[in-house]
Each structure stands twice: as structure tokens, then as C-alpha cells.
Amino acid sequence: MTLAQRNIYFKTGIFLASCSLLLLVALTGMLIPFLGESSGAALSRPNTLFQYLAGRFIHAAPFVPFLSIFSSAFYALFVSIIVLVYFEKTQTPEILFFGLFALSFVFETLRIMVPLRGLMDISSVSMIVGTRILVFARLFGTISLFAASVYSAGLDMQKQGRVVIGIIIAILLISFRLPVNGFSWDTSFTMIFSYSAMIRSAESVLVVITGISFFIAAYSRGAAEYRYISLGSFLVFLGRSLLFSADTWLSPIPAITMLIIGTYLITNRLHKVYLWL
């Protein structure tokens, strides 16, 4: 894959994230009156450890999921610009897949379909398809960063295009056969779908392997920077999980903080690794 071809992915991320932010800004005034109604009609709280513990003491805040969606689109735009500016002429396989990880955040915008139901008639079929796309994007983000760690450990750089296509096909087969309840959602405005616990477990395993692979690269390539990249990968994964499931005011600040620090560690250290190549 040439640099020009790779940079198209980053430019696509900038375009999609910009469109998402413009859409969210345009809909903000209309959606706010329906946020409380949608949160109150939620079937459950997000099924994550932090939200489970927080749910025992703090009630869900209807505006937080909307802030989470907005922050996700902004993160995708910010990272896409950063990687395009600092790595435009630098051939590094890891940054392509980190850019794809950031691009996956754009699709969190699909969660506005839940409060949007109060404004217009959205069929349950549309909700199901939208949720499957959302699950696809989340899995795609996880596997993209996993692929970056595998490349850092020595996978052939010339096969990036095939790897991206392979990832897309594999996740499509999983996500578009996923049973989704088109009438129920949780307080993060995510529709209820089957096998969520299994998917989270699989993602957790990939997260651990990703961190270990980067750590191994620090020794196999003699570059201590990969230790910090390993730490950064854990932080962005944790921040992403917390941001996507946010439904209380306790979640956004630590989530965004972890995403910022993790992103800085990954991009800054990768830039140092390839600076003199």
C-alpha cells in the first residue's frame, strides 16, 4: 500500500467525522427534549463493570450519552487530523490501523437513532441495521488496533490492504448475523443485542494480546518506545469502553482523559520510532 493510498483512509476519517459533528450540531436543539424520555424508557443500564457499580449509587443522566456520541465524533476527527499531519510522508503500518481504530468512533453517531425516534418515525428494522453497523464498527476498531500490534511484532508490511479487507469480511460475517432487539435499548442509547457478554470477553482477550504484542516488539525490535505504545493501547481501550457506555457524569472526564493520554503515547512514540527511518 502506497502512502497516497493509505492517506485516503485518514482523509475519509476527517470527512466522515466532520459530517457527523455537523449532523449532531444541527440536531442538538431538536433532540434535547427527547433525551430524558429515551433514557427513562431504557430497559437497562450498560452492562459494563463501571456502569454496573455506578448504577447502584448514581442515576443515569440523559444528556451524558449525547455528550459521549459528540465526543466520539470529535475524537475521530482529532486523531484523523493528527495522523495525517504527522505521518503523511512516513511509512508506518501501525499508524494506519490506529487511524482505522479512531475512524470506528464515527459510527457511534448511530446511537442518536434512539432519541431521534421521538422526533420521527424510525422503523425497528432500521434500528436493527444501525445497531449491527455499530457493533461492526466497535469490533473493527478493536481488531484494527490488534492488527497494529501484530505488525509491530514483525508482520509483512506489504499486506496491509489484504489485512484490512480480511478484517472487514470477518467482522461483517459476525455483526450482520447478530440478533438485535429493535425495540429495547440501554441508558447509553445502545440497542440491546445478543451475545454482548461473549463479544466483550473476546474484545478483552484481544486487548490483552494487543498490549503484550507491543511489549514484545519493544524487545524484538530493540525500541523501548513500544513499551509506552503498549500502555497507550490499554488506555485508549479503557477510555473507549468507558466513553461508549457512559450514562453518568462520572464517566466522560476520565474516559476522555485516558483517550487523550493513550493517543499521545501511541502517536508520539510511533513518530519517534520511525523518525530516522
Separation between Cα atoms, residue 19 and residue 11, nearest integer Å = 12
How confident is residue 43, by pLDDT bands cut at 50, 70 and 90?
confident
Phi, psi of 230 (to 5 degrees): -60, -45
CA atoms within 13 A on the CB side of 247: 32
Q: Which domain holds residue 114?
A: 3-274
- Region 54-79: mean pLDDT is 88
Per-residue confidence (pLDDT) for residue 18, from 0 to 100: 96
| pTM score of the predicted model | 0.90
Separation between Cα atoms, residue 85 and residue 93, nearest integer Å = 16
Under a CB-based contact definition with an 8 Å cutoff, are residues 110 and 134 in contact? Answer: yes
How confident is residue 198, by pLDDT bands cut at 50, 70 and 90?
confident
Q: Is the pLDDT of residue 118 over 90?
A: no
Q: Look at residues 43, 97, 49 and name the one whose alpha carbon lies nearest to residue 201.
A: 49
Domain of 17, CATH number, reads 1.20.1070
The number of angstroms, rounded, from the C-alpha of 130 to the middle of its chain's C-alpha atoms is: 15
Q: Look at residues 253, 251, 240, 247 and name the one whose alpha carbon lies nearest to residue 43.
A: 247
Tally of domains within the chain: 1
